[in-house]
Structure 1
Amino acid sequence: MYIGIDIGTSEVKALLLGPDQQVLGAAGAPLSVSRPHPGHTEQDPADWWAATQDALASLRAVHPEEYAATEAIGLSGQMHGAVLLDAHDRVLLPAILWNDTRSAEECAEMMRELPALSGLAGSLAMPGFTAPKLRWVARHEPAVFRQIAKVLLPKDHVRLMLTGEHVSDLSDASGTLWLDVQRRDWSDELLALTGLARRHMPRLVEGSAASGRLRTDVAQSLGLRPGTVVAGGAGDNAASAVGMGAVQSGQGFLSLGTSGVLFVVTPQYQPNAASATHAFCHAVPGRWHQMSVMLAAASALQWVAHLLGAADAGEVAARAAALSARAREAAPVFLPYLSGERTPHNDARVRGSFHGLDMDTDAARLGYAVMEGVSFGLRDGLAALHAAGSEVSRLSLVGGGARSAFWAQMLASALNVEIVTHGGSAVGGALGAARLGALSVGTPMEWACLPPPIDTVYLPDPAERALLAPRHALFRSLYRRP
């Protein structure tokens, strides 16, 4: 048995995987996000640990015997977050999250000071990444900065609670801007940009390798065996790829979660930062990947559902799906830049908007506009990946948005690729983490990383593509770089 734990932005998910790769059960515990100032997003790392314990307790209650037989644990998590620890592992500030945009000025400074940054790190300096956050802390919280002994990523803080070890994996570390991605090691040159050194960084392991073992007291509290292996794990995107079996060149997935991600596996390091894509290490040895990222995806639908007073995002999606083609053509056009944007604009200050509101605009049309706008943003991200040299004809759809068949079909038409969904796709990161746990105790990759069975295939629809084409042209024309 293997457990996968995914430290998301809105929820911690835990999944129990059997030795035959069958998902035996999954559980979740919610998280909240603090926004103390415009552009600031934070969480308390203690909440991740509390939610992890709650999710594991739920798994244990339903599957006590299988849970107790767990051989290894894998970790997945939201990338780029900065957990600042002092010499006694005490948290110095709330964790600064991936969608925090306060460090735009620091990014510009880093690019000016080290023009070779993107070639080393596989990406332009962007506010979401970890390194610019630390430069911001050094400038605005110098007393805190002087106390920093270690900087951890979100899932790695949970690992610290489990094992007492400061460790990260290469896929998650790729999103810090401190890693030499081609060499798969920390870069002294990049660290120096933020006044840090290797001593401030966790030890690095491959995602499929053991990173430590459960502490005895923690194992007893969780109802697991002391010494249970904890794998290196992965950032949420690389973990989702492992969960989808995307470990070979040309395989990929689309994550429709809080953020929107297009992920394609590459056989080597292929940076192309000019198109605002990312080239990172994969979670398994000897592989890399290219990625485009938009900062608001399914979260944009949740946002509009809240504004409309709907029960949930699914209710809004159902209303949108019921619209006629004529009503969709008359819907507003939505720019989904609620938290700034990465690919392809790399613009931390851009914000979302509706265009074409009129007296006929209702909740269904607003919901449709949001789903369409997110789809168009992902279409632009796929174009950026094509420009970076990636080719893909099929994408597995994961994340909370994968629950909507209407949205899946829209994405197939908007991106002009085959979209496939899988059972349990909403817990893709947790599944990948569990698989990495299996790999860490010797399970062969050929067996552990098989693609899961396909539930549904969505093919591009010519009529829908014809409807979307002029609306996408308008969408593209509405963005204005400041």
Structure 2
Amino acid sequence: MLLLGIDLGTSSVKVSVVDVEKQQLVASAQYPETEAAIISLQTGWAEQSPEEWWQQTGHAIALCHKKGGYDPADITAIGIAYQMHGLVLVDKNQQVLRNSIIWCDSRAVEIGDKAFDEIGHEACLSHMLNSPGNFTASKLAWVKQNEPAVYEQIDKIMLPGDYIAMKLTGEITTSASALSEGIFFDFQFNGISKDVIEYFGFDDSLFPVMKPVFSAHGRVKPDVAAALKLTTGIPVTYKAGDQPNNALSLNVLKPGEVAATAGTSGVIYGVSDDLAYDPQSRVNTFAHVNYANDAKRLGVLLCINGTGSLYRWVKNAFAGNLTYQQMNAEAEKAPVGSNGLRIMPFGNGAERMLNNKQVGAHLHNIDLNLHTLAHIFRAGQEGIAAAFRYGLDIMRENGMNPTVIRAGKSNLFLSSLFTQSFVNATGVPVELYNNDGSMGAALGAGIGAEIFTPSEAFSNAKVIQRVEPQGDGFEETYQSWKGILQEHLSKLSS
């Protein structure tokens, strides 16, 4: 018996096939191999085509099948993870009305800020645990204000993973977790927020039926099954945003457990049972995958937009034909602190942890007689690690004090230099696992199909490496980096 996991990322779609009995990977593939484009029609805008997501999903599944080693007929359930906060709009014929406004798009910041003031800070924070900010609700309001002809045609609004499930099954569903990440969910009433709906003038009919994350979200249609070489009628039994799903894949389900990821964006995600919030909404609280009315499980999320995106820019701008592995090896040649070179990794939209300010990416203290490629590569990784420390200190202000952080050995955590810099910056050990989002989605499908319990799903998960803090002087590097950031923030506020 096999499970199929789909991870709809910003850069690509990755799929994995997992063996139920062993909870082990059978095959995986991603498409495209190069990073998918982000459409930016204006400064601060970021869009992608849902139709292209669907095409990429089909290509990734076909590539996975081509690798062999399994019979697609043995796949019995599907799970989906997806980039969070994106807005997908379809008409009554389930046709996409416009490109998706994705997570790092900044156009709705002012709309969200105004809603926060007019609904009331206390009402927003005590009921939604967040300000409307730049999340999905504010993006929908932007469409309503600026594209009324599009808005009038909307039958249903969705998150990106809901769209992939719709294409597979023809059914449209949502969950408390999905609604909360869009700032549509009222935690006091366990339903769609009347304050948000009434303030923005949204119609209740725009929202899909709400189901648990682990439940049947539809069954694969015959034509889709034939095209993807799957069995007609197999269910989609799990849908979750990429960060709750990353936490699931690391077995981070209980209060106090903490996960991290450092892909296109960087995230620290801790589980809590307390309906708490950051007064400035710099870190955000959403319903976790195992949230229930009688067992509150919240995910407290710190997001840094510019992590892998910053290192990709460094590669494109400076590395020539060097691979990421070669860049990492080169970075090891520079000393801790990169001889004073500092990089701010904030060039990918408004940063929530910086009060939705657009600080931009910057290189500081460049010495043309001293600094080499090695210094630039190292300063990039150190700047990202420093940004994680800055955000974790905000989480600590709000009662999240991890003693260990779990992460998958992927993306930036493939770099031993970055991993050690992250650990030294935060002062928290990291446990690394062989996992990824698509495998987590597959295991989530198994939980949703009641093939196994969460504890059974991760019974074979093993720590492959534990990295402890070292006294290497990174605190001095961090304080220097933080001083530069605060100077920028002060200028933006004046």
Q: TM-score, normalised by structure 1?
A: 0.94
2:382 counterpart residue number: 372
d(CA) in 2 for partners of 1:196 and 1:395?
39
Counterpart secondary structure, 2:218:
strand
Q: Does 1:461 align with 2:470?
A: yes
2:440 counterpart residue number: 432
Counterpart secondary structure, 2:314:
helix
Counterpart secondary structure, 2:419:
helix
User: Quick one: structure 1 residues 296 and 466, their matched pair in 2 at CA, closer, same or farther if it must change by over 3 Å?
Assistant: closer
1:289 counterpart residue number: 299
2:24 counterpart residue number: 22
Structure 2 counterpart of 1:318, from 300, 317, 329: 329
User: Quick one: structure 1 residues 466 and 266, their matched pair in 2 at CA, closer, same or farther if it must change by over 3 Å?
Assistant: closer
**8 A contact 2:423–2:430 mirrored in 1:** yes
Alpha-carbon shift at residue 275 of structure 1 (Å): 5.2
Give per-residue Cα distances to partners, 1:326-367, cap 9 Å, x unaligned.
xx3424211111024434312243212111112122222122
1:391-470 equivalent positions in 2, closer than 5 A: 391-398=401-408, 399-424=410-435, 427=436, 429-442=437-450, 443-450=452-459, 452-470=461-479
Alpha-carbon shift at residue 264 of structure 1 (Å): 0.5
Worse overlay, 116-125 or 207-216: 116-125
**8 A contact 1:4–1:434 mirrored in 2:** yes
Counterpart secondary structure, 1:213:
coil
Q: Does 1:43 align with 2:39?
A: no
Task: Flag structure 2 segments of 5+ consecutive residues without an equivalent.
Answer: none
**8 A contact 1:344–1:381 mirrored in 2:** yes
Give per-residue Cα distances to partners, 1:88-134, cap 9 Å, x unaligned.
2111111111000111221121112211123222222222x111111
AA aligned to 1:452 is A
1:211 counterpart residue number: 217
Counterpart secondary structure, 1:479:
helix
**8 A contact 1:211–1:229 mirrored in 2:** yes
Alpha-carbon shift at residue 308 of structure 1 (Å): 1.0
d(CA) in 1 for partners of 2:115 and 2:224?
40
Q: Does 1:338 align with 2:347?
A: yes
Alpha-carbon shift at residue 385 of structure 1 (Å): 1.0
**8 A contact 2:177–2:240 mirrored in 1:** yes
Give per-residue Cα distances to partners, 1:65-90, cap 9 Å, x unaligned.
34320111000000111111122211
d(CA) in 1 for partners of 2:365 and 2:274?
44
Counterpart secondary structure, 1:264:
strand
d(CA) in 2 for partners of 1:208 and 1:191?
26
d(CA) in 2 for partners of 1:458 and 1:182?
40
Q: Does 1:90 align with 2:95?
A: yes
Counterpart secondary structure, 1:81:
coil
Alpha-carbon shift at residue 183 of structure 1 (Å): 4.3
Structure 1 counterpart of 2:392, from 359, 368, 382: 382
Alpha-carbon shift at residue 476 of structure 1 (Å): 4.2
Q: Does 1:170 align with 2:171?
A: no
1:60 counterpart residue number: 65
Counterpart secondary structure, 1:125:
coil
Task: Flag structure 1 segments of 5+ consecutive residues without an equivalent.
Answer: none
Alpha-carbon shift at residue 137 of structure 1 (Å): 1.2
Alpha-carbon shift at residue 474 of structure 1 (Å): 2.9
Give per-residue Cα distances to partners, 1:138-159, cap 9 Å, x unaligned.
2211111111111111111111
**8 A contact 1:382–1:415 mirrored in 2:** yes
**8 A contact 1:264–1:289 mirrored in 2:** yes
1:252 counterpart residue number: 258
Q: Does 1:479 align with 2:485?
A: no
User: Quick one: structure 1 residues 314 and 331, their matched pair in 2 at CA, closer, same or farther if it must change by over 3 Å?
Assistant: farther
Counterpart secondary structure, 2:421:
helix
AA aligned to 1:374 is I
Counterpart secondary structure, 1:352:
strand
**8 A contact 2:344–2:485 mirrored in 1:** no
Alpha-carbon shift at residue 270 of structure 1 (Å): 2.2
1:62-81 equivalent positions in 2, closer than 5 A: 62-63=67-68, 65-81=70-86
d(CA) in 2 for partners of 1:184 and 1:464?
47
Q: TM-score, normalised by structure 2?
A: 0.92
2:130 counterpart residue number: 123
**8 A contact 1:123–1:278 mirrored in 2:** yes
d(CA) in 2 for partners of 1:343 and 1:397?
22
d(CA) in 1 for partners of 2:114 and 2:55?
37
Residue identity over aligned pairs, in percent, reads 26
Alignment coverage as a number of residue pairs: 476
d(CA) in 2 for partners of 1:365 and 1:193?
50
d(CA) in 1 for partners of 2:270 and 2:60?
30
**8 A contact 1:376–1:475 mirrored in 2:** no
Q: Does 1:352 align with 2:361?
A: yes
d(CA) in 1 for partners of 2:325 and 2:487?
28
User: Quick one: structure 1 residues 91 and 220, their matched pair in 2 at CA, closer, same or farther if it must change by over 3 Å?
Assistant: same
Alpha-carbon shift at residue 478 of structure 1 (Å): 3.2
d(CA) in 1 for partners of 2:235 and 2:274?
29
Give per-residue Cα distances to partners, 1:260-299, cap 9 Å, x unaligned.
1100111242222425111111112432121111111111
Counterpart secondary structure, 2:116:
helix
Worse overlay, 168-177 or 415-424: 168-177
Counterpart secondary structure, 1:246:
coil
1:200 counterpart residue number: 206
**8 A contact 1:343–1:384 mirrored in 2:** no
User: Quick one: structure 1 residues 317 and 193, their matched pair in 2 at CA, closer, same or farther if it must change by over 3 Å?
Assistant: farther
Counterpart secondary structure, 2:152:
helix
Give per-residue Cα distances to partners, 1:349-389, cap 9 Å, x unaligned.
32121111121222221222221111111111111111111
**8 A contact 1:188–1:197 mirrored in 2:** no
Give per-residue Cα distances to partners, 1:246-266, cap 9 Å, x unaligned.
011111111101111100111
Q: Does 1:102 align with 2:113?
A: no
